Amino acid sequence: MITRRDLFKVAGVGAVALAVAPGALRTSFGAPKKISLEDALKEHLGVGMSALKESNLIQVKAPTIAESGANVPVQVKANIPVDQVQALYIFADSNFNPWVTTVEFSPMNGEVFFATRIKLAKTSPVRAVIKMKDGSLLAASKEVKVTVGGCG
Amino acid sequence: MSRLGRAIVRVPRKISKGQTFKVQMVITHPMETGLRKDKKTGKVIPAHYITKVEFLFNGKKVTTLHTGAGISKNPYFAIMMKATESGTLTINYEDNKGGKWSKEVKVNVA
């Protein structure tokens, strides 16, 4: 015999299944896939996270708490002679595509400096990676808390 | 958007020889990621973002930026530069839809 309680249980399970289904369908239908940080690093640097060396020569300036993820000012500065630096990369861990930008320097820059405004999907570290001319990779990061995401 | 691709570039008015100075620029551009949906029609707004920005001083390459959709709308970029003579700073930039623009700024070194 079906009691009132049982009926609710069955109805509840059904409702959950229906709510989950559209999500599952969407991912199975070849929607663009999120790129992981590791993959993004491999694509742009050729190596993964383990090859990066933390360095205190690089300073990443960004707000600790960003009100809107659509517009987060980021400034990167490094106490390294500019003629030893090949390029600077900026990554945001939890973005759809973590790679944000690549900056190629030349001796005419005078110093290693770059500032821009980036989008952040949610709270995540912002990483700056500097590729030296000798091939070594130096990294620094800054955690940014986001209250409203910016990658609609 | 008729203002698409317009840029404002700012350099210091007076620069002494050998001094490093900041070059700031803002481009008018939507920087669509291609992930956002139009709320009225439900259709995905196609990706539209700046892919490359080149800074040339008197024809010599200073900095090249490769950018993705992770840069905010109406992108702002700032770099440092050193100059020993007066000249023209040319900034070439392009987007993923084939838009190409150029902007020239005079740099006066005293």
In a domain, B1, yes or no: no
pTM metric for this prediction: 0.78
Rounded distance between C-alpha atoms, residue A36 and residue A39, angstroms: 5
In a domain, B45, yes or no: yes
Say yes or no for a CB contact (<8 Å) between A116 and B71. Answer: yes
Say yes or no for a CB contact (<8 Å) between A71 and B72. Answer: yes
Q: Domain ranges in chain A? A: 1-31, 37-148
ipTM of the complex: 0.84
Residue B20 lies in domain: 7-107
Q: Which of B65, B70, B81 sits opposite A108 (nearest CB)?
A: B81
Pick the more confident residue, A16 or B61. B61
Considering only CA atoms, which of A118, A126, A76, A89 is closest in space to residue B75?
A: A118
For residue B94, give how far its alpha carbon lies from the nearest alpha carbon of chain A (Å). 14
Non-local CB neighbours of A51 within 8 Å, separated by 6+ positions: A45, A137
Write the CATH number for B49: 2.60.40.10
CATH class of A37-148: mainly beta
In a domain, B19, yes or no: yes
Per-residue pLDDT reduced to its tens digit, A111-121: 899 999 998 88
Q: Please state, for a pLDDT cut of 90, what percent of chain A lies above it.
A: 28
Which residues in chain A are closer than 8 Å to B37, comparing Cβ atoms?
A: 152
In a domain, B36, yes or no: yes
Which residues in chain A are closer than 8 Å to B92, comparing Cβ atoms?
A: none
Rounded distance between C-alpha atoms, residue B85 and residue A130, angstroms: 29
Domain count, chain B: 1
In a domain, B2, yes or no: no
| Lowest-pLDDT range of A36-45, A111-120, A138-147, B83-92 | A36-45
